[in-house]
Amino acid sequence: MIKSNRQVRFSIGLHQILAAMLQEIRMIGTDAGVLIIILAVPVLYPVLYSFIYYPEVVRNLPVAVVDHSRTAVSREYIRHLDATPEINVTCTTPTMEEAISAFRRREIRGIVSIPESFSSDLALGRQTTISAYADMEFFLYYKALVSGTSFVTIDANKNIQVRNLMDGGLTAEQAEIMAEPLTLSDNAMSNPSGGFASYGIPAALILIIQQTIILAIGIVAGTLREKHPAGILIVHDHRFAETIRQLTGKAAAYFLVYSVLSIYMLKIIPGLFGYSDNLDFYELVVLISPFLLSSIFFGLALSVFFRNRESPMMLYLFTSIPLLFLSGIIWPLSGFSPLWLAVREIFPSSDAMFGYIKMSALAADLTETGREISNLWLKTFICFVLACVLYSGKLIQQKSKLKTGHGIQLQSG
Amino acid sequence: MKDTLFTILQVAGREIRRMTSRSMYLLVTIIFPVATTLFFWSLMKEGVPNKMPVAVVDLDNTALSARLVRNIDATPLSRVVSHLQSESEAMSELRKGNIYGFVVIPYNLQSDILASRKPVISYYYQNSFLIAGGLMQNDLTYILHTLSAGVSKQKLEAMGQDENKVMASIQPIVLDTHLLFNPFSNYSAYVTTIILPIMLQLFILLMTVYSILIEIKEKTSREWLRLSGKSLPLALAGKLLPYTVIFVVIMMFQNFMLYKMLHIPQHAGFFGLAAVSVLFVLSYQAVGIFCAGLFPMMRHALNLSAFYGILALSLCGFSFPVEYMPAVFQYWAEAFPVRHYMHIFQSQILAGFGIEYSLLSYLFLMLFLFVPFAILFRLKKALILQDSIEKV
């Protein structure tokens, strides 16, 4: 049976793509440096981070209370403070100086000061002020002290008010409603315990995927250009179709490796460590496929500029931490200037982090993450075109280099 | 002595010539550090995030609910971007990421209050983001408590009590929160002062490892050793001297941005800051030498230093306090100079405590300077056997 021209072309194309893919896999597999980046980093980092942040929240913050009042009422307040999960009253001192020197020695992380007139003020129906001094060293210390003291204070206020109103002749029920005319219902959507790992880890995982893809592609390309005397990329033929096949093959290799890694990082790790995981497998695939593709083509486009093995690593370390901040998970986007909002749009990780957090933590469905998913496909397309243009541009350079430098003629097709 | 100095300067001169031969040196020593400084400075210039988008579902539609909506909009932290018809609609907006939180004002709010039926106001916020979630919760809680207190106040006033007495009776205890030794509740001051040294240590590590091992990779390490009179300490001193100078200058530039441009208070003075900066740069160069000596192959040493450098972000205790991590990480954390730098910064520089409170941290930083001696012989052997080390 005679194959049609189109069929022959198709099978040649497929063959070339497969060959390019296998070659890339071979290069990754024989390079210990790249293997460590692709396998060890995505596998070990999530586990390591999960253990580092395992305690999740700050409990029993050591706090000193300066009790100027020294009455039964102030002691009751201190007891309530100590009973909160956030605060552990480790010492009660008569003077502020003593508390501050304990703070300097790092024995305590916050100070609560009760005024001398505390119980007499309350008895006489005057307003009294309790001061809390928080350590700004760590945001979480500050948060623990403030939420512990406000909880106790609001509660004490309510009790005092109810008691006073009842003394004034109201029934318990009337006093209750007078003191608290509204019921406030506080609903944290996602991460109700405010666990730190749940804040940081999902975003870090997405970033690790993108950064190691770019790094690995860059190192493979940089090594190739180091090895070859003319410092060129390996492409056999200079036709545009050939470039596309080469790129597709390379991309397929990384896609294959990273789809397995993504399932591990974004499905198995959250399951193991109990991070919110409200997305099913199908939703994960729909979000992560364009993310992987756009990161891969982003890396391929960038790889044209690497002339040695080391430069991708420099870029990796330069960008990783700023990208975490640029994503908007640490610093809210509403505080960004237009410049940084625009820079943020360049990187696939920004969309993927938001998309993944929305799906896994808030149980957003595919239509609610539509903006992120379509952005990722748009970036895939742009990066793909960019990679093709840059690669074929290199090819023309290479062709002229070979002609002048080595006197080798290339077949034209 | 004179010879030693001459040798060091000669090697330093050789290094400067090498540095000008490749753009990578310029990038990593100057452009990247300056760019990150400007990036973090400009990203969080506002200090505190403001006007985060929130929504309200006002089912009551009375004067009281309208006032509540205005109050939410008036706080510096939130901005009411949409009025929605139902809770499910608001929930979907939250899931889409258009708003950070929303408040549901129930039907008959005003009349229920008047009839003492204790209506429920619910508020929801996105808690997957550390700062935004925390601030949103504080803000909404505060506004709604104020509303609740306002209602009590009106009722008590209607009962004929005078205003001072009413305030004391609805809020007998006032909580006044202060920050210890940091007059700023400025979040950016807190983040940038630590993130900049963390970024800088990455560049110092990379550059140290790269500048040493490129000699093996390009097979010039024997020539380098010959020029240094075959003394590795002299060779390293001469090679790293230009980087020490550059990185200390960069760090002083960062200090200038923090204490002069962002007006963060500091109590160490110019020379105090310079001394800490020199110690910081030297201790990371020492760790860099150690990485290079441990794995005298560029790819592995770079991977190792990258792994170590990135981990500093978590383990220096800046994101999550080290005291609350499992014990093994508490010991591990001591192995990062940036953690000791952070102590010095918080105690001596920011709070102005006496140097005796950060003495231990200085001691630790100096301890790092001895770390390279552990691998000196190994590194020298590798430098001599340059040809057989890096086989690509």
Q: Which residues have a Cβ under 8 Å from the Cβ of A223 and sit 6 or more positions away?
A: A27, A31, A309, B392
At residue B235, the pLDDT reads 95
Enclosing H/E stretch for A290: helix A281-303
Q: Is B347 within 8 Å of A104 when comparing Cβ atoms?
A: yes
Give A340's contacts in chain B (Cβ within 8 Å).
42-43
Residue B352 tokens read as: 């102005």
- The terminus-to-terminus CA distance of chain A in angstroms comes to 27
Q: Is A200 within 8 Å of B130 when comparing Cβ atoms?
A: yes
Question: What whole-number distance in Å separates Cα of residue A167 and Cα of residue B169?
Answer: 12
Q: Which residues have a Cβ under 8 Å from the Cβ of A228 and sit 6 or more positions away?
A: A234
Q: Is B127 within 8 Å of A192 when comparing Cβ atoms?
A: yes
At residue B392, the pLDDT reads 42
Residue B271 tokens read as: 């020379």
Give me the mean pLDDT over the B71-99 stretch.
90
Residue B7 tokens read as: 């040798």
Report the DSSP beta bridge partners of residue A65: A92, A112
DSSP B319-341: SS-GGGS-HHHHHHHTT-HHHHH
Give B195's contacts in chain A (Cβ within 8 Å).
321, 325
- Interhelix angle B187-217/B32-43, rounded to 10 degrees, is 160
Question: What whole-number distance in Å separates Cα of residue B158 and Cα of residue B168?
Answer: 16
Question: What whole-number distance in Å separates Cα of residue B147 and Cα of residue B149?
Answer: 5
Give me the mean pLDDT over the B184-212 stretch.
88
**Is B165 near chain A, with CB under 8 Å?**
yes
Residue A239 tokens read as: 């036709």
pTM for the full model? 0.89
At residue B202, the pLDDT reads 96
Burial class (CB in 10 A: 0-12, 13-18, 19+), B204: buried
Q: For chains A and B, what is the number of CB pairs under 8 angstroms?
A: 313
Give A177's contacts in chain B (Cβ within 8 Å).
116, 118
State the residue for tokens 């109700």.
A192
At residue A406, the pLDDT reads 45
Residue B73: alpha-carbon gap to chain centroid: 30
CATH level 3 topology of B52-170: abc type-2 transporter like fold (3.40.1710)
At residue A173, the pLDDT reads 84
**pLDDT band, very low/low/confident/very high, at B191 (cuts 50, 70, 90):** confident
Q: What angle do CA B318, B324, B327 make, to 5 degrees?
A: 110
Query: Would the pLDDT of B4 be above 50?
Result: yes
At residue B58, the pLDDT reads 94
Disruptive mutation site among A90, A122, A331, A371 for chain B (greatest number of B CBs within 10 Å): A331
Give me the mean pLDDT over the B252-281 stretch.
91
Give A58's contacts in chain B (Cβ within 8 Å).
321, 324
Encode pLDDT of A355-376 as tens digits: 999 998 888 899 999 999 999 9
Q: Is A336 within 8 Å of B43 when comparing Cβ atoms?
A: yes
Residue B138 tokens read as: 């504080």
Report the DSSP beta bridge partners of residue B58: B105
- The terminus-to-terminus CA distance of chain B in angstroms comes to 41
Question: What whole-number distance in Å separates Cα of residue B222 and Cα of residue B389?
Answer: 13
Query: Would the pLDDT of B252 be above 60?
Result: yes
Query: Would the pLDDT of B228 be above 60?
Result: yes
Question: What whole-number distance in Å separates Cα of residue B247 and Cα of residue B224?
Answer: 23
Look at residues B97, B21, B34 and name the one whose alpha carbon lies nearest to residue B249: B34
All structural domains of chain A: 5-53+195-406 (no CATH), 61-179 (3.40.190.10)
Question: What whole-number distance in Å separates Cα of residue A74 and Cα of residue B215?
Answer: 69
Give B36's contacts in chain A (Cβ within 8 Å).
318, 322
Distance from CA of A95 to the nearest CA of B (A): 16
Question: What whole-number distance in Å separates Cα of residue B41 and Cα of residue A340?
Answer: 12
Higher pLDDT, A411 or B316: B316
Question: Sign of the C-alpha dihedral, residues B274, B305, B209, B364?
Answer: positive
Query: Would the pLDDT of B215 be above 90?
Result: yes
**Is B42 near chain A, with CB under 8 Å?**
yes
Q: What angle do CA B127, B131, B135 make, to 5 degrees?
A: 80
At residue A140, the pLDDT reads 78
Residue B112 tokens read as: 């229920």
Q: A65-76 burial, b for 16+ CB within 10 Å, e for fewer?
A: bbbebebebbbe
Encode pLDDT of B335-383 as tens digits: 999 999 998 988 888 888 888 889 999 999 999 999 999 999 999 999 9
> Chain A: residue nearest B310 by CA?
A317
Which ranges of chain A have pLDDT less than 50?
A: 405-413
Q: Is A332 within 8 Å of B49 when comparing Cβ atoms?
A: yes
Encode pLDDT of B103-152 as tens digits: 999 999 988 888 888 899 999 998 888 778 888 888 888 888 888 888 88
Burial class (CB in 10 A: 0-12, 13-18, 19+), A89: buried
Q: Largest Cα–Cα distance of chain A, in whole Å?
A: 107
Q: Is B180 within 8 Å of A311 when comparing Cβ atoms?
A: no
CA distances from A94 to A70, A73, A117, A121, A226 (A): 9, 16, 14, 19, 70
- Interhelix angle B376-384/B232-256, rounded to 10 degrees, is 110
Enclosing H/E stretch for B249: helix B232-256
Residue A12 tokens read as: 């040649």
Q: What is the ipTM of this complex?
A: 0.89
Q: Is B320 within 8 Å of A52 when comparing Cβ atoms?
A: yes
CB atoms inside a 10 Å sphere around CB B34:
14
Domain ranges of chain B: 2-44+186-389, 52-170
State the residue for tokens 């403070």.
A81
CA distances from B183 to A131, A146, B51, B81, B235 (A): 15, 16, 23, 32, 47
Give A325's contacts in chain B (Cβ within 8 Å).
40, 43, 195
At residue B237, the pLDDT reads 95
Give A386's Cβ-side CA count (13 Å radius).
18
